[in-house]
Amino acid sequence: MTEYIEYDLLIVGSGIAGLRAAIESAKQNDTLRIAVISKVQVMRSHSVSAEGGTAAVLFENEGDNMESHIYDTIKGSDFLADQDVAEKLCLEIPKEIYQLEHWGMPWSRRKDGKIAQRNFGGYSYPGATYASDKVGFFEMQTLYDTCLKFDNIEFFNEWYVTSIIHDDKKFLGVTAIEISTGAFYTIKGTALIIASGGAGRMYSYSTYALSSTPDGLDMAYRAGMALKDMEFVQFHPTGILPSGILITEGARGEGGYLLNNNGERFMKQYAAEKMELAPRDIVSRAIMTEITHNRGFIHETGVQCMQLDLRHIGDDILKEKLGAIREISFKFSNIDPAKEPLYIRPVCHYMMGGIHTNIDGATELQGVWAAGEAACNSIHGANRLGANSTSECMVWGKITANMAVNYIANAQSESQFPHHLVDAEEKRIYDGIFRGGGKMNPYEIREKLTGILNDKAYVYRKESELIDGLKKIRELRNTSWRRVDDHAQEYNTNFINVMELDSMFRVAEVILLGATYRKESRGSHARIDYPHRDDNNFLHHTLVYYDINDPIMKKHPVTITKYKPVERKY
C-alpha cells in the first residue's frame, strides 16, 4: 500500500549539484517546500570523494584568461562539447568559487594569501582551485552546513527513488522506498531536479562509491527521456592497485611522474608538450599502449600496470598538498609514496553521458531538470577535463534551481494524478523483483555484468568485442536473477541491490549500443578498428530512448559557435 506526501520541489541526489540546487531554491523562495531525497546519508554522497580541484579562471591579470578555459574545455572534449554550454560554465564558475569561500570553504592559499590553484591535465594555465586533496569533502561540508540554515529544506536520507510519475507531458511526482522501514511512498511535486550522480559501479574496476549505480539515469530513461552520449566513459589514468581508489590528477599536477618498466617517463612519446598533464583519455591510452608492448609491471595480484612516482616531490609537500593520497597509499597499498612508486592502472571514473538536457539543464519532460554527472548538457563532449566536474555541479545546481523555482511560481493547476502508474510501479518492483522467483544469485550476475563492461568497453574497444559484450549482457538479463532472499521490511539492502541491478542492465545496454554504433575514435571512445576521428559522419551526439523491445537511437547536433574542429595535439 503506497503512502502519499507532497512537496513543491523534489531534488533526487545529495551531492554537490543537489545541495547547491537546494540552497539556491531556498534562497529564491523561503516558502517553497523542498525535499532532498538520497539513498545515502548526505555526507556519504560520492561528491565527498572528489580530490584534486574545481576549475575556474580567478586571476586573469596573471596570464590566465577566460578564453583559454573555454577553448581548453572544448579541445579536451575532442570538439564534441556544445560550445555555448562550455562558455557558460567558464563564465559562471568564478562566482561560485567566491560564493563557496563566503560560506566557509577552506580553500588552500598561496603565500600572498590568495586562493591557490594547481596544474591539471589539458589546461593552458594552473586553474584547479583546491583544498589540499580533499576538495569534494570540504565543498560538501560547506554546502551541507549552509543547507542547514534554511528551514524549508528537508532531507530524506536513505530513501530509494524508483520511478518518475508524469502524464506524458509534465512531471507530477516520484515513487520511493524508505529504506529504514521498507514503506513505499508516492511523493508528489511540481518540479524535479535529478542530481543522482554517475553510474561507474557498472564497471568492476572503478573509483566510485558502491552507491554509484544508474538509478537516476534509468528512471529518467523509463520515463521517456533520452540518455545522451553514454558511450563516452572516462577512465582516469591513476587508479591505485588493487582497490581502484582514485589517485588524484593533483598528484601529477604537483609534479608526479608516470614510469614504465624501463624507468622512462613514457608520456614524452604520446604528448611531448604536456607529458603527464595531457588530458585523461590520452594518458589512459598511453598507459594501455605501454602495457600492450610489455613495458608495464606485473602487480602482486597479477594485474598489469604502470608506476606513479612521487618520491622526488618530498614528504613535506606530500603531507601538505596530497595528505589524503599519502594516507590512501599507506592504507590500501601499504606503500609510503615518499619512498616507493605507486602501482596504477586506468580506472572507470566518470560518465560524460547522462540525461539529455539543454543549456539550462531542462530535460524533455516539462518540470524536470538534471544537474551534475547525472545530466548531459554536453559540456564535456567525448572527454572531460579534470576539475570541470565539480565546477559543473556548482554552476548547474544553481541554474536548475532558478529554473525550477520560476516554473513552480508559474505552474498551472494540477493534472489528474495517474494513480494507475503508481500501482504499476508497485507491481513492477514488488511482484517482479521483491517476490521474484529467480534461481540465479543476483550478486553473481552483477559481478558478471560489471566484468563484461570492464572487458568489452574499456580504454580500447573494437566492434566484435562490443557486440559480444552486448550479447552477453542481454543473455544475462534474460536469466532468472530477479530474486530477493531477505524479506525483511527494515533496511533490506538485498532488495535495493537487486533493484540497482535491474537499472544496471538497461543502462549497460545503452553504453554498449552507443559504442558499437560510433564507428570512430573520439576522446574517451577509442576504437581499434576505427582509429581516427570522423567529423563527416560522427560529429553529433547520440540519443537513446527506451522502448520495451529495443532501444531507439537518434542523432543530435553539436553546437559549434566559433571553434571549428581541428586535430587534437598536446
From residue 123, alpha-carbon distances to 72, 237, 378, 522, 558 in Å are 6, 17, 19, 19, 22
The answer to whether 468 touches 456, Cβ cutoff 8 Å, is yes
CATH for 299:
3.90.700.10
Q: Are 41 and 221 spatial neighbours (Cβ–Cβ below 8 Å)?
A: no
Q: Which of 347, 373, 400 is the last residue of a domain?
A: 347
> What are the cell numbers at 529?
578498428
Catalytic, 102? Answer no
**Which element (helix H / strand E) includes 282?**
helix 280-292
Give the CATH number, domain containing residue 469. Answer: 1.20.58.100
Q: Is 157 inside any structural domain?
A: no
What is the spatial distance between Cα 512 and Cα 353, in angstroms, rounded to a whole number? Answer: 13
In a domain, 241, yes or no: yes
At 62 the pLDDT is: 82
424 and 539 together in one domain: yes
What pLDDT is recorded for position 415?
Answer: 72
Is 252 an annotated catalytic residue? yes
512 lies in a domain?
yes
Say if 448 falls within a structural domain. yes
Structural domain of 440: 419-543
d(CA 266, CA 446): 36
Q: Among 294, 312, 347, which residue terminates a domain?
A: 347
- Residue 341 CA to residue 306 CA, distance in Å, equals 9
Residue 224 domain-assigned (yes or no): no
- Flag whether 411 is in a domain: no
Task: Return the pLDDT at 442.
Answer: 97
Q: What is the pLDDT of residue 64?
A: 84
Domain contains 96 = no
Phi, then psi, of 369 in degrees rounded to 5: -125, 160
Q: Which of 46, 236, 345, 356 is catalytic?
A: 236
User: 343 and 425 share a domain?
Assistant: no
**Which of 347, 376, 392 is the last residue before a domain boundary?**
347
Interhelix angle for 388-409 vs 16-28, to 10°?
A: 30
Per-10-residue mean pLDDT, the chain, length 570: 93 98 97 98 95 93 89 98 98 98 97 94 94 95 98 98 95 97 97 97 95 97 98 96 91 94 96 95 97 96 95 92 91 92 96 98 98 98 97 98 97 85 96 94 97 97 98 96 95 97 98 98 98 98 96 98 95
Active-site choice (166, 252, 280, 482): 252
Gap between the Cα atoms of 317 and 320, Å rounded:
5
Q: How many domains is the chain built from?
A: 2
Structural contact between residues 362 and 399, judged by C-beta atoms closer than 8 angstroms: no
C-alpha separations of 5 from 216, 254, 430 in Å = 20, 50, 20
